[in-house]
Amino acid sequence: MNNQTLLPLAILLFVFAAWFVFHYAKRSTSCVITLLSIISFGLGSAAVALLPIDLSYASTSISSHESTDDDGIGNNSDIDIEDDTDVSQNNPTYLPWQITYWTTFFLAWLVLPITRETLLSGHFTLRQRLKDGIAISIKGIFLMILMGVVAVIGMAIHLQSIRLVQTVLPVLMALGNTYGLVLVSLLLGNGLVNIPKRFWREACPAQELRRARILICGAEEELFEAVWELEDVEKHIEGVCRYAVG
C-alpha cells in the first residue's frame, strides 16, 4: 500500500463527509460553516481509517524484522539504525498522519474556536466580530497554556527534575488525552442516550403528539416573554436615540 492507494480512500471519505453534512445541515447554514464541517468530519474519518492501516503495517513490519533478526543475528545494530532512519520513507501512512494531525490541530485550536466566537459575537460589522472572536479565543488558549505550565511545574517539583522526556511530554500527553476523552464522553453520552431515546419516542406517534401538545404551552409562554422583552428593549433604544438626537 502506498500514497496512491490511500488517495482514493481519502476522496471517498471526504465525499461521504460532504454527503453527510449536506444531508443533515439546515438550508440556512452558510457556506463557510458547511465547508468547515465537511473538512472537520472528513479529517476525523481519515484518522479513524488510518489507524487500522497503520497498525496492520506496523505488525507486518515487526514480523519481517523478527524474521530478519533470526536470519542474521550479528547485524541487529545496523538494522535498528536503518529502521529509525527510514521509518518516514517506508511507512505509507506517515505523510497522511502528519497532514491529518496538523490540519486537525489548527482546526481545533485556531480556526473552529475563532469561527464559533465570531458567530456568537454581538458586534454588527464582520471586522468587529472577527476581532472579538480572535480576542476571546486567545484568552481561552492563554488559560489552557497557563494550566499546562502550572501542571509542568508541579510535575517537575514532584519528580525533582526538569527533563523534557520525563516532565513536559507526559504532562502534555495527559492533558491532550484528558481533553479528548472528556469530549468523547460528552459526545458519545449524547449519542448513546438521547438519540435512541428520541427514536423510541418517535416510534409511537400518539405519545409523541401528546408530548408536543404539552410542550406547546411552555413554548407559547416563552414566546410571549420574548416579545415583551423585545418591546422593552425597543423602548429603551428609542429613548436613547431621542436623548442622543436631543
Q: How far is CA 244 from the centre of its chain?
A: 46
According to DSSP, residue 161 is labeled -
Q: Cell 502534555 belongs to which residue?
A: 172
- Per-residue pLDDT, 41: 86
According to DSSP, residue 76 is labeled H
What is the dihedral sign for C-alpha 191, 193, 198, 203?
positive
Task: Per residue of the chain (246 residues), give pLDDT as tens.
Answer: 555 667 787 888 889 888 988 888 888 888 888 898 888 888 888 888 887 777 777 777 666 666 655 555 444 444 444 454 455 556 777 788 888 888 888 888 888 888 888 888 888 888 898 899 899 989 988 888 888 788 777 777 776 666 656 667 777 777 777 777 777 777 777 777 777 788 888 888 888 888 888 888 888 889 999 999 999 999 889 888 888 886
Say how far apart CA 131 and CA 198 lie, in whole Å: 39
Residue 107, C-beta contacts closer than 8 angstroms, at least 6 positions apart: 36, 39, 40, 43
- Per-residue pLDDT, 14: 87
* Amino acid at position 9, single letter: L
- Per-residue pLDDT, 25: 84
What is the value of pTM for the model shown? 0.62
CA torsion angle 49 50 52 53 (round to 10): 120
- Per-residue pLDDT, 141: 86
